[in-house]
Structure 1
Amino acid sequence: MAIVRCLRRAAVFSLLLLGLQVPAAAGAVEFLQAEFQQGGYAIGKVDPGARVRFDGHDVRVGADGRFVIGFHRDDPAAMRLEITGPAGDRRVETLSIAQRDYDIQRIDGLPENKVSPPDSVLARIRADAALVAEARVRDSADTWFDSGWIWPVKGPISGVFGSQRILNGEPRQPHYGVDVAVPTGTPVVAPADGVVSLAVPDMYFSGGTLMIDHGRGLASAFLHMDSIAVTPGQRVARGDAIGTVGATGRATGPHLDWRINWFGKRLDAALFVPSMPEGTGN
């Protein structure tokens, strides 16, 4: 039985690699698009009216049966997906999540108060974090991400997703974004359709910070911006100008730190777009 299941999964993944949709058996899940790895995401489809739980949480299912899930940097190799059909039939799938090795990135020369902040700014840091957390819990029914994805700015990649950060010799949180090193003032565009959920010109760590809700829990964040050209609640289309690159907050030089999350799970933005084009220094 285990061999048959493995063969069936192999056939499904072969069809996915060919860009074909996989016919769903009764009560089964169909993955229309998937990156089954830490930092990846998947767009699935179930029978309309079915319910989905992933990693212990209910997931929004659209009228067409589509849903989105994401895999955090440190998610385990096996994750549980539960589907309850419209008639109450229940199916449990175990998703195999590829584990990744992450770089270690050492950054020296940062102002010491940006690495170990003084007590006088802790209230400000907590307030910043609360604003970001509020934006991350949005669960919009819209699927603005259907527009497809592009790079918000093009240039040399100076930092990658998942790197363990050593700041001024002190271990800190991993890096959850993709850094693109380009000059201050370089225009930044929306990578996909969405609605602006946060726009703050000066957060303590991230400086000029912008977030865009792309629907179903997917959201982009843009850090260290020099200027922000949009306001909360504003609808943006893929390719629209949203601001400019800067070096605000905790940064050693001008760059765009682009991040994507699915609610509280941090995803790898580089998995949403094609490889950086030739000739951009990558």
Structure 2
Amino acid sequence: MKCVFPAVGLAFAVFSVHAADRDLQLPDQLQQGQLVVGHAPKGAKIEFAGRRVLIGDDGVFVFGLGRDAPAEEKLHIRYSNGKANDVVLKIAKREYETEHVNGLPPHTVTPNPELMKRIERERARVAETRHRNDAREDFEQGFFDPVENARVSGLWGRQRIDNGKPMAPHFGLDFAVPNGTPIRATAPGVVTLAEMGMVLNGGIVVLDHGHGVSTTTIHMSRIDVKAGQKVKQGDIVGLAGATGRATGPHVHWAANWFDVPIDPALLPKSSDFAKAP
């Protein structure tokens, strides 16, 4: 797939290295929680946060900035001629509100030791899906919301207080929808996990979009796909529900770059990418 950078919405700065074929392209504005889409010159190698970054044949690469990423990070690039350079990335800080959620099933907030062991096993299974580093570039089609015209009822990154107990930040974007609302694949991908009955997640579907990018929907009442299945953008993967740790029917949509949670609201949109000439 040819990488064509967004015509609108994501402006790019070029870090010039003498010759045009050695230009590194990155967005000119970065913030915490962002999936960064860049373009590398031919033959370059890139490392970020201690990880070798996969670069497509078209030069596209991605990396994720965490919720609390520092004000500066370094992107290490080695060019085909052997020369290397550290690009200093300036990352804008975000402010996150605290959100109180009451009425959750008590066993999902304060599980007993035996249930906690099950929760840890389920977390490990979900984490395993985020180790993939496929060369597919499905993320280049851009993303849209998993449900149409829905009210956003929960923002990404907020500190959560569940049933009065401080919890981890909310790493998802919530959409308030009726039970049984169809959930769409937000971009093309491969199903890496599709399972009902998890303690916290309830019904869960994880889609891998290549280069370590994945998206997840949870609290589903029904799942219509299976692990290993390829899906197109817009395919129905299941129905919304209130399974797992939830107070009512909604869609919790999460995104990751490997194990780094990404704000789904900052994913590149389908409309951001210009069509190849």
TM-score normalized by the length of structure 1: 0.87
**Is the contact made by 2:15 and 2:23 (CA closer than 8 Å) also made in structure 1?**
no
- Residue 164 in structure 1 maps to residue 159 in structure 2: yes
How many angstroms apart in 2 are the aligned matches of 1:115 and 1:51? 44
Q: Tell me the CA shift for residue 21 of structure 1.
A: 7.6
The residue number in structure 1 matching 2:72 is: 78
Q: Report what 1:62 is aligned to.
A: 56
1:34–1:206 CA distance, 2 compared to 1 (3 A):
farther
Q: Residues of 2 paired with 1:24 and 1:63: CA distance?
A: 20
Please tell me the residue identity of whatever aligns with 1:72: G
2:123 equivalent in structure 1: 129
- In the alignment of these two chains, the number of paired residues is 259
Q: Which has the higher strand share?
A: 2
| 8 Å Cα contact 2:15/2:24 also seen in 1 | no
1:131-150 pair list within 5 angstroms: 131-150=125-144
Could you tell me how far 1:111 is from its partner in structure 2? 2.4
- Where does structure 1 differ by over 4 angstroms across 4 or more consecutive aligned residues? 15-24
Q: Does 1:176 align with 2:171?
A: yes
Q: Post-superposition shift, 1:35?
A: 5.8
1:198 aligned to 2:176? no
Mapped contact 2:15–2:25 kept (Cα < 8 A): yes
CA displacement at 1:206 relative to structure 2: 0.8
- Which of the residues 73, 84, 105 maps onto 1:90? 84
Distance, in Å, in 2 between the alignment partners of 1:98 and 1:156 is 27
Q: Check whether the contact 2:12–2:28 (CA below 8 A) recurs between aligned residues.
A: no
- Output the aligned Cα RMSD: 1.9
Matched, 1:243 2:238: yes
Q: 1:223 aligns with which of 213, 218, 226?
A: 218
After superposition, give the CA deviation of every residue in 1:77-135 in whole Å (9 maximum; x if it has no partner). 10110000112100110101111000110011222211111012122112111111110
Residue 46 in structure 1 maps to residue 53 in structure 2: no
Q: Secondary structure at the match of 1:215?
A: coil
SS state at 2:160 partner: strand
Q: What stretches of structure 2 of length at least 5 have no aligned partner?
A: 1-6, 270-277
Of the two structures, which has the highest relative contact order with CA contacts closer than 8 Å and spacing of 6 or more? Answer: 2
How far off is 1:149 after superposition?
1.3
Alpha-carbon shift at residue 272 of structure 1 (Å): 2.0
What residue is the counterpart of 1:213 in the other structure? 208
TM-score normalized by the length of structure 2: 0.88
Name the CA distance, whole Å, in 2 between partners of 1:21 and 1:35.
Answer: 9
2:154·2:175 contact (CA, 8 Å) conserved in 1? yes
- Checking the alignment, whether the CA contact within 8 Å between 1:39 and 1:267 is kept in structure 2 is yes
User: What's the CA shift string for 1:45-91, capped at 9, x where partnerless?
Assistant: 11222110111211111222221011111111101100001121001
Corresponding residue number in structure 1 for 2:275: none
How high is the sequence identity, in percent, across the aligned residues? Answer: 42
